[in-house]
Amino acid sequence: MKRRRIRFDTVGLILPALVLLLWFAVTAWGGMPEYKLPSPQKLLYVLADFATGRLGITPYSGTLWGHLFHSLRRVAGGFALAAACGLALGFLSGRIPLARRLVDPLIHLVRTIPGIGWLPVAIVWFGIGEGNTLFLIALASFFPIYLNTVHGTSQVPEVTLRAGQMLGAKGFTLFRTVVLPAAFPDVAVGLRLGLGVAWAYLVLGEVTGVTEGLGAVMTDGRMLGHVDIVLATMIVIACVGKLTDWLLLAACRAVCPQMRRGRDVP
């Protein structure tokens, strides 16, 4: 039995390293004031204090994990709602032409509205708080999940469907054994895109009066002039967002083992 080697592409470190060097040079010798762009060393201290609370250099000392918990809960809730609706409608529209003719025009019409345009309406409908944030996350995540599911489901070759029917697969059995495995790579792409959008819209939802969450910290830090904590929060969101993407990809590979390693990871 062959063991899969986990290969790490070091080429991906080149650009981050160059950005870090440029950042260090600009803050050390370029005359960039710290209140506009703190140095990498300062930001590292802020991150450590944000997580541990041992340095006491910002008002947000030791508050990272509580804010992260609330943000993760909101992302998970909004993404789960978007996935449930997007997958259900996507599979129906992908396999039933009448459903696609009914649903597609409205969805393509609504998805052209920018997310920020929904913000005042969401505040009126759900007020300031959890409902508003969950609505924005779910709405934005829904579209890539739906579109990729429709594409993958509708592109299943007819010869594959006929082969399954010849082997006795009908109805839900045909969907589970033929349609779903064939469409799943596209479905996985949609889920990953939707999760990325969920993290982006988390910040939009949390800047509207929510008191706990990473987006709330970013808003508060901006108002108080703490650019360092704003950048630290952005780094946390990027890292946690990437981690959740890895976890989702691992789950997709568990569901669909034929997704080949190395070709489906950007």
Tally of CB atoms within 10 A around 113? 11
Tell me if 120 is assigned to some domain.
yes
Q: What is the pLDDT of residue 167?
A: 67
Q: What is the pLDDT of residue 169?
A: 63
Tell me if 98 is assigned to some domain.
yes
Cα 99 to Cα 89: distance, rounded to the nearest angstrom: 8
- Per-position b or e across 67-78, b if 16+ CB within 10 A of its CB: bbebbbebbebb
Q: What is the pLDDT of residue 263?
A: 46
Instruction: Please tell me the total count of domains within the chain.
Output: 1
Domain that holds residue 184: 66-255
**Which token pair is 224?**
């108080």
Tell me if 54 is assigned to some domain.
no
Q: Profile the chain (266 residues) by mean pLDDT over runs of 10 residues.
A: 56 82 82 80 89 82 90 94 94 87 90 84 81 89 94 80 66 71 88 93 80 86 84 92 93 76 46
Cα 196 to Cα 53: distance, rounded to the nearest angstrom: 29
Tell me if 42 is assigned to some domain.
no
**Which token pair is 209?**
């009066």
| Alpha helices, DSSP H, located in 96-129 | 97-110, 115-126
Q: What is the pLDDT of residue 113?
A: 86
Tell me if 146 is assigned to some domain.
yes
Tell me if 122 is assigned to some domain.
yes
CATH code for the domain in which residue 92 is found: 1.10.3720.10
The beta strand positions in the chain, using DSSP E, are none
Cβ-contact 50, 61 below 8 angstroms? yes
Tell me if 26 is assigned to some domain.
no
Q: What is the pLDDT of residue 198?
A: 93
Q: What is the pLDDT of residue 78?
A: 93
Q: What is the pLDDT of residue 266?
A: 47
Q: pTM for the complete prediction?
A: 0.85
Q: What is the pLDDT of residue 260?
A: 55
Q: What is the pLDDT of residue 1?
A: 42
Q: What is the pLDDT of residue 37?
A: 83
